[in-house]
């Protein structure tokens, strides 16, 4: 995958601010994933498997508070990245991530 194939993430958000060498690395290891509206990318408690960048669609982030009932805490738009906290700390996910609409995400797996 060339840097051009990272569009729009090479032009906005966290990835756009990285050095060209890092973007080249991301274009080599990154894998595009598609999710339908209402489909979970991951759930709280799941093991970390890398980070995700939103290229198309929107995401809903929920946090399980009481009796496993999730509370929506954020609605993410294109250019948003998530997953770094669990990945860098080597801990399970503390939030759930769901596609609010049909979405396309770039998955960067560290391992």
Q: 17 versus 73: which is more confidently predicted?
A: 17
Residue 64 structural domain? 32-108
Query: What's the CATH number where 47 sits?
Result: 2.60.120.10
pLDDT tens for 31-90 read 999 999 999 999 999 999 999 999 999 999 998 876 667 778 889 999 999 998 888 788
Tokens of 9: 């993430």
Give domain status of residue 17, yes or no: no
pLDDT of residue 69: 75
Give domain status of residue 15, yes or no: no
Nearest to 31 by CA among 57, 55, 47: 55
Q: Residue 50 and residue 39: Cα distance in Å, rounded?
A: 18
Number of domains in the chain: 1
Give domain status of residue 90, yes or no: yes
Give domain status of residue 93, yes or no: yes
Give domain status of residue 94, yes or no: yes
Give domain status of residue 95, yes or no: yes
Give domain status of residue 12, yes or no: no
Residue 51: C-alpha distances to residues 6, 26, 32, 78, 110 (Å): 15, 11, 12, 15, 8
Q: Which residues pair with 91 in a beta bridge?
A: none
pLDDT of residue 90: 82
Alpha helices in 7-83 (DSSP H): 20-29
Q: Kindly report the number of other CB atoms within 10 A of residue 58's CB atom.
A: 16
Q: Which residues pair with 6 in a beta bridge?
A: none
Give domain status of residue 16, yes or no: no
The pTM for the full model equals 0.89
pLDDT of residue 65: 76
């Amino acid at each position: 995958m060339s840097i051009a194939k990272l569009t729009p993430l090479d032009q906005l958000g966290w990835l756009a601010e990285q050095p060209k060498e890092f973007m080249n690395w991301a274009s080599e290891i990154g894998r595009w994933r598609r999710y339908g509206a209402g489909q979970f990318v991951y759930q709280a408690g799941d093991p970390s498997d890398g980070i995700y960048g939103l290229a198309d669609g929107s995401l809903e982030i929920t946090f399980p508070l009481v009796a496993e009932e999730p509370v929506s805490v954020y609605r993410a738009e294109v250019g948003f990245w998530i997953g770094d906290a669990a990945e860098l700390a080597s801990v399970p996910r503390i939030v759930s991530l769901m596609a609010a609409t049909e979405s396309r995400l770039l998955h960067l797996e560290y391992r």
